Structure 1
Amino acid sequence: MEYTSPTNRVVISYPDDQLTVLSIRCHSTTETFFGTKLRKFLESQNDKYDEILKHLVPYEGLHSLNLNHNIFLTDVRNEESGEGYVVEIIMDENNSYLVKVKNLRYLTLHTTKNNISNSRRLFESVINESSDDLKSMFSLDPDSIDIIVKMEEYVKPRYNHLIETVEQFYTENKDLSRKEYALKAQKSHSKYMGLLIALYLGKTNNYKEFAIRHSKDLFGINEQTQTTNNNNEDE
């Protein structure tokens, strides 16, 4: 069985709670029923499994359509919705096997899903300005878009504030002696000390690297972080 719901996301999101019967395995014989054989078995049990039949994964017989295998695979790969299909290859009346055919959109999302399910990785995507690419990949998934946008709204104001604070302090105090500059920086912005001294010495700051390195202590980001729309930043 497979349980899908908005709160049980694996790769793509599902809008409703649903339990789907994919196959049944006999413990005594170890035989597995799926597809055509499973439906026939359930229907042969005198209405005993009517409720299970209601949750049986939908399937369609293709044997009479004279399909070109290459065209079929190409069409599935190019589909924009769902995940793809599990194809039952029927050898004879008693023997068959299953093959998964996933569409390219699903395969792409599968390789990038951790970027939105893991707050730290999503944070890094925002800092590295690649969250727009993520939104393009999940363009048909409003739940994922919402997660990405919330992280952007949480991170961007804080990141911009970090840069503005450092640059403004340097501009206002760059004519001080090094000792005076360092003492003032330590007193007012100790958490940015390395960045402030680097500017004073004429070096270029890598703000993205700094933000990612301090994701937890400056942004409160870890793998379980819940983002909010509160854009206030403490001085």
Structure 2
Amino acid sequence: MTDLLDRRLLFVTGKGGVGKSTVTAALALLAAEQGKRVLLVEVDAKGNLTNLFEHPPVGFDPVAVAPGVFAMQLTTEASLREYLKLNLRIPMVGRIGPIAGIFDFVANAAPGVKEILTVGKVCWEVRESIEGRAPWDLVIVDAAATGHVIAQLDAPRTIRDLVQTGPIRNQTEWMMTILSDPAITALNVVTAPEEMPVNETIELVARARTETDVPLGAVVVNRVLPEPFTVADEPV
């Protein structure tokens, strides 16, 4: 587990209901206990992650939820706002009203566009921290569930294959560099000791190996209880 926490970016996924967010929070607290400054990123848009810290829901700006642990909720619309502001030099975009029309157009323009807005923001935070412009030692993502996480992780490659040249292609290249580096990134899968979650985990691991370049980290089997009695407790 120590080696896992030496990475800079951890994705945590799993079938709904297996305790994905709980494991995400536990990893963040463990890393913080080791003196790391952790950014927790929730992309599932359910707003439940901060409840585990007895903290109200958070927004796009990171908020401290525990000593050494900061959390943010990532939405595609907020990510688009920031992208437009940083890359297209549109200073007022953060102050205007809902940009639903722009968002709908961009999100549906091509496969992977919606997903890259979120994974791109995550990769940006990691790159900024590696280069000393952001304070995070570790970014942990409470990622989409097993049915959607592959599209999320493969979005940079999907967009790169669509765009032959220019700044967008260059951005996908550095995202892919971060996502594919085993010293930086790991995909971790949470499961439960039940047939359906285990089967989904096996399928997800196989797809992650063949459909993405993201290195695999740990498979966490949640809800495994210790034996109530030891051999010494059994009657003779």
TM-score of the alignment, normalized to the shorter chain, above 0.5: no
TM-score by length of 2: 0.24
Higher strand proportion (structure 1 or 2): 2
Q: Between Structure 1 and Structure 2, whose CA radius of gyration is higher?
A: 1
TM-score by length of 1: 0.24
